[in-house]
Protein backbone atom coordinates (compact mmCIF):
# COMPACT_ATOMS: atom_id res chain seq x y z
CA UNK A 1 0.00 0.00 0.00
CA UNK A 2 1.39 3.37 -0.93
CA UNK A 3 0.37 6.93 -0.19
CA UNK A 4 0.74 10.02 -2.29
CA UNK A 5 -0.33 13.56 -1.57
CA UNK A 6 -2.91 13.95 -4.31
CA UNK A 7 -4.17 10.45 -4.98
CA UNK A 8 -4.59 9.28 -1.40
CA UNK A 9 -3.97 5.65 -0.57
CA UNK A 10 -3.68 2.92 -3.15
CA UNK A 11 -3.41 -0.83 -3.01
CA UNK A 12 -1.49 -1.93 -6.08
CA UNK A 13 -1.76 -5.42 -7.53
CA UNK A 14 1.06 -6.00 -9.97
CA UNK A 15 -0.12 -7.65 -13.17
CA UNK A 16 -3.82 -6.92 -12.58
CA UNK A 17 -4.04 -4.91 -15.82
CA UNK A 18 -2.56 -7.86 -17.73
CA UNK A 19 -5.00 -10.29 -16.09
CA UNK A 20 -7.96 -8.04 -16.94
CA UNK A 21 -6.83 -7.70 -20.56
CA UNK A 22 -6.34 -11.46 -20.88
CA UNK A 23 -9.74 -12.22 -19.32
CA UNK A 24 -11.45 -9.82 -21.75
CA UNK A 25 -10.70 -12.21 -24.59
CA UNK A 26 -10.37 -15.53 -22.76
CA UNK A 27 -13.40 -15.50 -20.46
CA UNK A 28 -15.60 -12.38 -20.22
CA UNK A 29 -17.86 -14.11 -17.68
CA UNK A 30 -14.91 -14.69 -15.37
CA UNK A 31 -13.81 -11.08 -15.91
CA UNK A 32 -17.21 -9.85 -14.69
CA UNK A 33 -16.97 -12.13 -11.65
CA UNK A 34 -13.47 -10.84 -10.86
CA UNK A 35 -14.53 -7.19 -11.16
CA UNK A 36 -17.52 -7.88 -8.92
CA UNK A 37 -15.20 -9.51 -6.38
CA UNK A 38 -12.78 -6.58 -6.49
CA UNK A 39 -15.62 -4.09 -5.97
CA UNK A 40 -16.89 -6.14 -3.02
CA UNK A 41 -13.33 -6.08 -1.62
CA UNK A 42 -13.57 -2.31 -1.28
CA UNK A 43 -16.78 -2.33 0.74
CA UNK A 44 -15.07 -2.21 4.19
CA UNK A 45 -13.65 1.20 3.22
CA UNK A 46 -17.06 2.55 2.26
CA UNK A 47 -18.69 1.11 5.37
CA UNK A 48 -16.03 2.64 7.64
CA UNK A 49 -16.18 6.02 5.84
CA UNK A 50 -19.95 6.17 6.25
CA UNK A 51 -19.63 5.27 9.92
CA UNK A 52 -17.05 8.05 10.36
CA UNK A 53 -19.31 10.51 8.52
CA UNK A 54 -22.15 9.81 10.95
CA UNK A 55 -20.23 11.84 13.52
CA UNK A 56 -20.49 14.96 11.34
CA UNK A 57 -23.69 16.84 12.05
CA UNK A 58 -25.01 17.56 8.57
CA UNK A 59 -28.26 15.56 8.41
CA UNK A 60 -26.39 12.67 6.75
CA UNK A 61 -25.72 14.46 3.46
CA UNK A 62 -21.97 13.78 3.55
CA UNK A 63 -22.48 10.13 4.53
CA UNK A 64 -25.00 9.62 1.73
CA UNK A 65 -22.73 11.25 -0.85
CA UNK A 66 -19.88 8.77 -0.31
CA UNK A 67 -19.43 6.01 -2.90
CA UNK A 68 -16.87 3.71 -4.50
CA UNK A 69 -16.18 4.11 -8.22
CA UNK A 70 -14.00 2.08 -10.56
CA UNK A 71 -11.46 3.42 -13.00
CA UNK A 72 -9.12 1.88 -15.55
CA UNK A 73 -11.55 -0.88 -16.58
CA UNK A 74 -11.95 -2.09 -13.00
CA UNK A 75 -8.26 -2.15 -12.10
CA UNK A 76 -8.60 0.85 -9.77
CA UNK A 77 -11.27 1.84 -7.26
CA UNK A 78 -11.66 5.20 -5.54
CA UNK A 79 -13.63 6.45 -2.56
CA UNK A 80 -15.40 9.61 -3.69
CA UNK A 81 -18.02 12.12 -2.69
CA UNK A 82 -20.20 14.51 -4.66
CA UNK A 83 -20.91 16.78 -1.69
CA UNK A 84 -19.75 20.32 -2.63
CA UNK A 85 -18.86 21.07 1.00
CA UNK A 86 -16.88 17.86 1.49
CA UNK A 87 -13.61 19.75 2.01
CA UNK A 88 -15.08 21.69 4.89
CA UNK A 89 -16.67 18.62 6.43
CA UNK A 90 -13.51 16.55 6.01
CA UNK A 91 -10.78 18.99 7.05
CA UNK A 92 -11.99 22.32 8.36
CA UNK A 93 -12.19 23.65 11.87
CA UNK A 94 -15.66 24.11 13.29
CA UNK A 95 -17.08 27.34 11.92
CA UNK A 96 -15.69 26.96 8.39
CA UNK A 97 -18.30 27.66 5.75
CA UNK A 98 -19.35 27.25 2.15
CA UNK A 99 -18.62 30.53 0.32
CA UNK A 100 -21.29 32.46 -1.48
CA UNK A 101 -21.40 35.85 -3.12
CA UNK A 102 -18.55 37.75 -4.73
CA UNK A 103 -15.71 35.32 -3.80
CA UNK A 104 -17.57 32.07 -4.45
CA UNK A 105 -16.02 31.61 -7.91
CA UNK A 106 -12.44 31.87 -6.61
CA UNK A 107 -12.64 29.24 -3.92
CA UNK A 108 -16.05 27.76 -3.28
CA UNK A 109 -15.30 26.18 0.09
CA UNK A 110 -13.78 28.27 2.86
CA UNK A 111 -11.37 25.71 4.29
CA UNK A 112 -8.81 27.37 6.59
CA UNK A 113 -5.14 26.91 5.71
CA UNK A 114 -4.47 25.19 9.01
CA UNK A 115 -7.10 22.52 8.79
CA UNK A 116 -7.83 19.66 11.12
CA UNK A 117 -6.64 16.15 10.24
CA UNK A 118 -9.02 14.31 7.91
CA UNK A 119 -12.11 12.96 9.64
CA UNK A 120 -13.76 10.48 7.28
CA UNK A 121 -12.12 9.27 4.08
CA UNK A 122 -8.42 8.88 4.91
CA UNK A 123 -9.04 7.23 8.31
CA UNK A 124 -11.49 4.83 6.63
CA UNK A 125 -8.84 3.73 4.14
CA UNK A 126 -6.17 3.43 6.83
CA UNK A 127 -8.40 1.41 9.16
CA UNK A 128 -9.63 -0.92 6.40
CA UNK A 129 -6.37 -1.51 4.50
CA UNK A 130 -5.62 -4.96 5.90
CA UNK A 131 -9.19 -6.18 5.33
CA UNK A 132 -9.17 -4.89 1.74
CA UNK A 133 -5.82 -6.58 1.03
CA UNK A 134 -7.11 -9.86 2.43
CA UNK A 135 -10.29 -9.67 0.34
CA UNK A 136 -8.37 -8.80 -2.84
CA UNK A 137 -6.02 -11.74 -2.26
CA UNK A 138 -8.98 -14.08 -1.82
CA UNK A 139 -10.72 -12.75 -4.93
CA UNK A 140 -7.64 -13.09 -7.13
CA UNK A 141 -6.81 -16.54 -5.74
CA UNK A 142 -10.31 -17.69 -6.62
CA UNK A 143 -10.10 -16.26 -10.14
CA UNK A 144 -6.67 -17.78 -10.74
CA UNK A 145 -7.92 -21.15 -9.48
CA UNK A 146 -10.81 -20.95 -11.97
CA UNK A 147 -8.40 -19.98 -14.77
CA UNK A 148 -6.18 -22.94 -13.89
CA UNK A 149 -9.09 -25.38 -13.91
CA UNK A 150 -10.40 -23.92 -17.19
CA UNK A 151 -7.03 -24.37 -18.87
CA UNK A 152 -6.44 -27.94 -17.72
Whole-angstrom Cα distance, residue 143 to residue 146? 5
* Residue at 152 is within a domain: no
pLDDT score of 4 more than 50 = no
pLDDT band at 50 (very low <50, low <70, confident <90, very high): very high
| Of 129, 59, 122, residue with least CA distance to 87 | 122
pLDDT band at 41 (very low <50, low <70, confident <90, very high): very high
* Residue at 52 is within a domain: yes
* Residue at 65 is within a domain: yes
* Residue at 145 is within a domain: no
pLDDT score of 111 more than 70 = no
User: pTM of the predicted model, to two decimals?
Assistant: 0.73
* Residue at 40 is within a domain: yes
**Range of the structural domain that residue 125 is part of:** 2-137
Q: How many domains would you assign to the chain?
A: 1
* Residue at 126 is within a domain: yes
* Residue at 32 is within a domain: yes
Greater model confidence, 80 or 89: 80
Within its chain, how far is the Cα of 93 from the centroid?
24
* Residue at 112 is within a domain: yes
pLDDT digits (tens, 9 = 90+) for 86-95: 877 787 766 6
pLDDT band at 58 (very low <50, low <70, confident <90, very high): confident
Whole-angstrom Cα distance, residue 86 to residue 66? 10
What pLDDT is stored for residue 152 in this prediction? 43
Amino acid sequence: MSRSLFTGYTVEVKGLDDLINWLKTADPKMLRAMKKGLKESTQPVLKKARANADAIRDAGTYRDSLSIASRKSGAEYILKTDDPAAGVKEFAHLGAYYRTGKYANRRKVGVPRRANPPRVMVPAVQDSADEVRRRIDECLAEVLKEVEHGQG
